[in-house]
Amino acid sequence: MADATLLNQIKDFSNRADPYPLYARLRQTPVSRQNDVGPETESPKDEAQGVWVAASHDAILRLQNDPRISVETTPPTKRPSTGNPVTDYLVNPIKNRITDRHQPFLFRDPPAHDLLRAATVHQFTPTRVQAMRARSEKLVGEMLDRKLGSREIDVVADLAYPLPVAVICELFGVPEGDEASFHDWSSQLATAVEPGVVVSEETRIENARIFDAISDYLADLVAEKRRRPRNDLLSGLANHATPDGYRMGDLDLISTAILILVAGHETAVNLISNAWLTLMRHPDELERLRADPGRAPRVVEEVMRYDPPVQLVSRKTLSAIDIAGTTIPEGEALVLMLAAGNRDPAAFTDPDRFDPDRSGTRHLGFGGGLHYCVGAPLGRFEAEAALTALARRLQAPRLIEDPPPYRRPATLRGPECLRVAVERIL
């Protein structure tokens, strides 16, 4: 075992603000077997288990494109357990609405994954996604207008958190009157699906209720879209088949909508917050962005490498895999440490330097292979809109706390709040 405690140190909350030195140590063995005490629990820890960790850029790239790895989780045999809240809900639902067969496609292997993903991608049309750029800019403008006259802004609560849900409401064609409840559910859902936390029976039931509320609402919304189709993505998914003639059934539609909501919310929150934090720590880059908003795509792309919102993804091996001089046996849990691969000196020159002008190797921040992020262009637009507006409108911004307080998860990593003092908001 390379270093039995590194993964646990990475998961330890006290290292949340800066896990990068630990990633560097992890990378010394590109693929290692680590002792894992398991997810954080509300009760005492289970026994330690072994997990394989890929930390080099090359090993991650190979593994995420390898057909011998799987995302499907075996349903847990005992309650309460599982670090996967979706599985938790599906295995122990209050209502038996969605079954194991309707897991969101992020947790499914081919061929089911490919059908569901193709139907979804088919509806992320360039026109629809492009329309979200202007919409994001408008929403960001309105959110900052609400802060006019303030000397302080919390970039997470005032902007990064509400923006992605507002964009998803638009994408789904959620009626204006329902938007407030949709925002509430989305934040409850975010807490309910916080990765890597095994919860008590009481919390599990509460989480299942949240899933019920949101899936009931989405079932009604889907029915409405079938009756009166509009121009939104959900209407498209509900009413149009792919060129191959495949159309989703109701339960798959609901679980896909939940997936888009979950996958497109916390990730985008963290991208905007991590990006603003990085810019505040690199005032010369902030100044360059203020002077030239055209630099926003470069800045966002470099943040996706330098401090990615999704730090790791989980898999298991379907058969033995020889990689980086070692053999991962069949049926083993595997972690692809994306954030470690993104700072690999074998792939990036001077990897610990934040440099929006770098070119060449691609980062791993949106994943890769079959499960490469469906919403990547949308996430980029949202972050670009947020950063350019913040750079332009916040006069003399100063971080009130550095490092800021972080949210618990090690997987979806980002600040809990990001308080910035300003002379003025324009």
* Nearer to ligand HEM (CB atom), residue 333 or residue 370: 370
Q: How far is the CB of 47 from ligand HEM (least distance, A)?
A: 26
- The strand pairing partners of 51, in sequence order, are 34
* Nearer to ligand HEM (CB atom), residue 132 or residue 347: 132
User: Does 374 help bind ligand HEM (rule: CB under 6 A)?
Assistant: yes
Count Cβ atoms below 10 Å from residue 392 Cβ, excluding itself. 14
Amino acid identity for residue 9 in this structure: Q
User: Does 358 help bind ligand HEM (rule: CB under 6 A)?
Assistant: no
* Nearer to ligand HEM (CB atom), residue 135 or residue 209: 135
Phi, psi of 246 (to 5 degrees): -95, 135
User: Does 117 help bind ligand HEM (rule: CB under 6 A)?
Assistant: yes
User: Does 264 help bind ligand HEM (rule: CB under 6 A)?
Assistant: yes
* Part of the chain binding ligand HEM (CB under 6 A), chosen from 31-39, 189-197, 266-274, 413-421: 266-274
Q: Which one among 52, 105, 172, 406 touches ligand HEM, defined by CB under 6 A?
A: 105
Amino acid identity for residue 305 in this structure: R
* Nearer to ligand HEM (CB atom), residue 210 or residue 272: 272
* Nearer to ligand HEM (CB atom), residue 192 or residue 300: 300
Contacts of 247 (CB under 8 A, 6+ apart): 119, 240, 241
- The strand pairing partners of 197, in sequence order, are 40
Contacts of 220 (CB under 8 A, 6+ apart): none
Q: Which parts of 291-310 interact with ligand HEM (CB under 6 A)?
A: 309-310
User: Does 60 help bind ligand HEM (rule: CB under 6 A)?
Assistant: no
* Nearer to ligand HEM (CB atom), residue 258 or residue 422: 258
Q: Position of tokens 């997990």?
A: 51
User: Does 258 help bind ligand HEM (rule: CB under 6 A)?
Assistant: no
User: Does 371 help bind ligand HEM (rule: CB under 6 A)?
Assistant: yes
CB 133 within 8 A of CB 148: no
Report d(CA 369, CA 357) in Å as an integer. Answer: 26
270-289 footprint of ligand HEM as x/- string (CB under 6 A): -x------------------
Q: Which one among 193, 258, 378, 390 touches ligand HEM, defined by CB under 6 A?
A: 378
Q: How far is the CB of 291 from ligand HEM (least distance, A)?
A: 25
Question: CA neighbours within 13 Å on the CB side: how many for 175?
Answer: 11
Closest CA to 52 of 353, 332, 349, 245: 332
Nearest-CB residue for ligand HEM: 375
* Part of the chain binding ligand HEM (CB under 6 A), chosen from 11-19, 247-255, 350-358, 364-372: 364-372
Number of residues that bind ligand HEM (CB under 6 A): 23
Q: How far is the CB of 336 from ligand HEM (least distance, A)?
A: 8
* Nearer to ligand HEM (CB atom), residue 2 or residue 370: 370
Q: Which one among 129, 318, 323, 373 touches ligand HEM, defined by CB under 6 A?
A: 373
Helix (H, G, I), strand (E, B) or coil at 248: coil
- The strand pairing partners of 53, in sequence order, are 32, 335
Contacts of 297 (CB under 8 A, 6+ apart): 380, 384
- Rounded to the nearest angstrom, the gap between the alpha carbon of residue 243 and the centroid of all alpha carbons in its chain is 29
User: Does 196 help bind ligand HEM (rule: CB under 6 A)?
Assistant: no
Q: Which one among 255, 267, 311, 317 touches ligand HEM, defined by CB under 6 A?
A: 267
Question: What are the C-alpha distances in Å from 278 to residues 55, 153, 173, 270, 399?
Answer: 23, 17, 33, 12, 11
User: Does 143 help bind ligand HEM (rule: CB under 6 A)?
Assistant: no
Q: How far is the CB of 263 from ligand HEM (least distance, A)?
A: 4
Count Cβ atoms below 10 Å from residue 342 Cβ, excluding itself. 25
Report d(CA 370, CA 386) in Å as an integer. Answer: 29
Contacts of 177 (CB under 8 A, 6+ apart): none
Burial class (CB in 10 A: 0-12, 13-18, 19+), 355: middle
Q: Which one among 61, 210, 313, 340 touches ligand HEM, defined by CB under 6 A?
A: 313
Report d(CA 329, CA 160) in Å as an integer. Answer: 41
Binding site for ligand HEM (CB under 6 A): 105-106, 117, 259-260, 263-264, 267-268, 271, 309-310, 313, 365-367, 370-371, 373-375, 378-379
